[in-house]
């Protein structure tokens, strides 16, 4: 495993990390979740990502339970939560968003579910148009001073919103956001590569990037249709299928087919190539993997060996193949 600093902070995260979205508390049972965390930790992964909204708190419960069961040393791993969407069906106004009230209460609930005394990373899962950024910045700083959170950050905030949060923090000598959690993969590049470009050096921003395989699309598993047992084939995931594959006009599947053709020519697994491409971006602090079975996770870890195998021309070929 390689380790990278989270932006300009002193926290070293494994270059590949592991998240619980859709799988924990939903698609997979506790014993597969336990196998996945064990395999991840044994292979040097030291960051496990979660959120209040994942399976309405169940994903955090399962993760906390298996980490306790595996007796992982608390100083050997980092765990996150994310606040915004709430952890109940039809949340009331105080059960969602980024008000001081919900940020505090969601943090306390996540600590209990994950069975830890502090969250290593705590994210604002989306911007909240109904809460002044200043209120959220003060709330995050208070949690850090109380020892309940170590690093706070954002997920899918605009560059302008991140800058504003940092400006407020610096003006009041508060803890500024250390990281952003954006989507980043061969099919979705603009925000990380262009919009955030000035923030890496100006703010020392780190990134924990999500969906490196675009929910599995970049493995090529959907090139010939959607199998029932795959993520996009799960009942209740029609919305996700629309989002990930898009309509015919979006030509996303064509872009993936071109990508998997290049991978086949190179004799590489598309999954490993797609993840290695993310790892090559120096502004990516950690690539967050998802998996519904341990064999997928073990395959994806092989991406670490590909980053130096090819020269720039080959990586550019992949970018051309997947271009819109
Ligand atoms: N901040 C946010 O808004 C946000 C949003 C989304 C995700 N996240 C975080 O990012 C993490 C990773 O995102 P993600 O789960 O979407 O990552 P991903 O790598 O794009 O997709 C993972 C899924 O792809 C399939 N897959 C993975 N490896 C495979 C392989 N080698 N062969 C075949 N299929 C494979 C599996 O689904 P199936 O086996 O079911 O097909 C797996 O669950 C999440 O767990 C979550 O922690 C954050």
Could you read off the pLDDT of 23-79 as tens digits, one per residue? 999 999 999 999 999 999 999 999 999 999 999 999 999 999 999 999 999 999 999
What is the pLDDT, as a whole number, of residue 236?
85
Is residue 82 a contact partner of residue 122, using CB atoms and an 8 Å limit?
Answer: yes
What is the pLDDT, as a whole number, of residue 186?
98
Kindly report the protein residue whose alpha carbon is nearest to atom 47 of ligand 1.
19
Confidence of residue 248 (pLDDT cuts 50, 70, 90): confident
Confidence of residue 246 (pLDDT cuts 50, 70, 90): confident
What is the pLDDT, as a whole number, of residue 250?
74
CA of 104 to the centre of ligand 1 (A): 28
Confidence of residue 262 (pLDDT cuts 50, 70, 90): very high
Q: Which of 3, 41, 54, 122 is catalytic?
A: 54
Q: Residue 228: inside a domain, yes or no?
A: no
Q: Residue 314: inside a domain, yes or no?
A: no
Q: Residue 276: inside a domain, yes or no?
A: no
Q: Residue 105: inside a domain, yes or no?
A: yes
CA of 240 to the centre of ligand 1 (A): 12
Is residue 22 a contact partner of residue 290, using CB atoms and an 8 Å limit?
Answer: yes
177 lines ligand 1 (CB under 6 A): no
Q: Residue 305: inside a domain, yes or no?
A: no
Active-site residue flag, 200: no
CA of 271 to the centre of ligand 1 (A): 11
The predicted model gives 215-234 an average pLDDT of 92
What is the pLDDT, as a whole number, of residue 41?
98
Confidence of residue 154 (pLDDT cuts 50, 70, 90): very high
- How many domains, in total, are found in the chain? 1
Give ∠ CA 226-294-5 in degrees, rounded to 5. 105
What is the pLDDT, as a whole number, of residue 237?
87
What atom of ligand 1 comes closest to residue 210's alpha carbon?
10
* CATH number of the domain residue 69 falls in: 3.20.20.100
Percent of the chain residues past pLDDT 70, beyond the cut: 100
Q: Which domain holds residue 210?
A: 3-216+281-291
Q: Residue 206: inside a domain, yes or no?
A: yes
Question: Cα dihedral angle (235, 239, 244, 249), rounded to 10 degrees?
Answer: 120
Q: Residue 223: inside a domain, yes or no?
A: no
Average pLDDT, the chain: 97
Q: Residue 274: inside a domain, yes or no?
A: no
| Whole-angstrom distance, CA of residue 264 vs CA of residue 41 | 30
What is the pLDDT, as a whole number, of residue 238?
87
Asked if pLDDT for residue 247 goes beyond 90, the answer is: no
| Whole-angstrom distance, CA of residue 196 vs CA of residue 143 | 26
| Whole-angstrom distance, CA of residue 22 vs CA of residue 19 | 9
């Amino acid at each position: 495993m390689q380790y990278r600093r989270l932006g300009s902070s002193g926290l070293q995260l494994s270059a590949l990390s592991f998240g619980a979205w859709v799988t924990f508390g939903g698609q997979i049972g506790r014993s597969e979740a336990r196998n996945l965390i064990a395999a991840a930790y044994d292979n040097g992964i030291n960051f496990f990502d979660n959120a209040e909204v994942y399976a309405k708190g169940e994903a955090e419960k399962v993760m906390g339970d298996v980490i306790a069961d595996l007796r992982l040393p608390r100083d050997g791993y980092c765990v996150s939560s994310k606040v915004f969407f709430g952890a109940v069906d039809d949340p009331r106004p105080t059960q969602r968003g980024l008000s001081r009230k919900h940020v505090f209460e969601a943090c306390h609930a996540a600590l209990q579910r994950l069975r830890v005394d502090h969250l290593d990373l705590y994210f604002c899962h989306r911007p909240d148009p109904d809460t002044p950024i200043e209120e959220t910045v003060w709330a995050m700083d208070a949690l850090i001073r109380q020892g309940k959170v170590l690093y706070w950050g954002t997920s899918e905030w605009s560059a302008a919103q991140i800058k504003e949060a940092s400006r407020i923090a610096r003006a009041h000598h508060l803890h500024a956001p250390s990281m952003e959690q954006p989507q980043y993969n061969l099919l979705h590049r603009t925000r990380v590569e262009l919009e955030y470009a000035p923030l890496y050096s100006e703010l020392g921003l780190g990134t924990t990037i999500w969906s490196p395989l675009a929910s599995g699309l970049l493995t090529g598993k959907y090139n010939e249709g959607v199998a029932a047992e795959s993520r996009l084939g799960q009942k209740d995931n029609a919305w996700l299928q629309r989002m990930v594959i898009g309509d015919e006009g979006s030509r996303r599947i064509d872009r993936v087919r071109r990508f998997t053709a290049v991978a086949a020519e190179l004799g590489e697994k598309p999954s490993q190539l797609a993840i290695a491409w993310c790892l090559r971006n120096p502004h990516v602090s950690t690539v967050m993997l998802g998996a519904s079975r341990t064999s997928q996770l073990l395959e994806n870890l092989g991406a670490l060996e590909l980053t130096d195998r090819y020269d720039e021309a080959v990586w550019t070929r992949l970018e051309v193949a997947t271009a819109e």
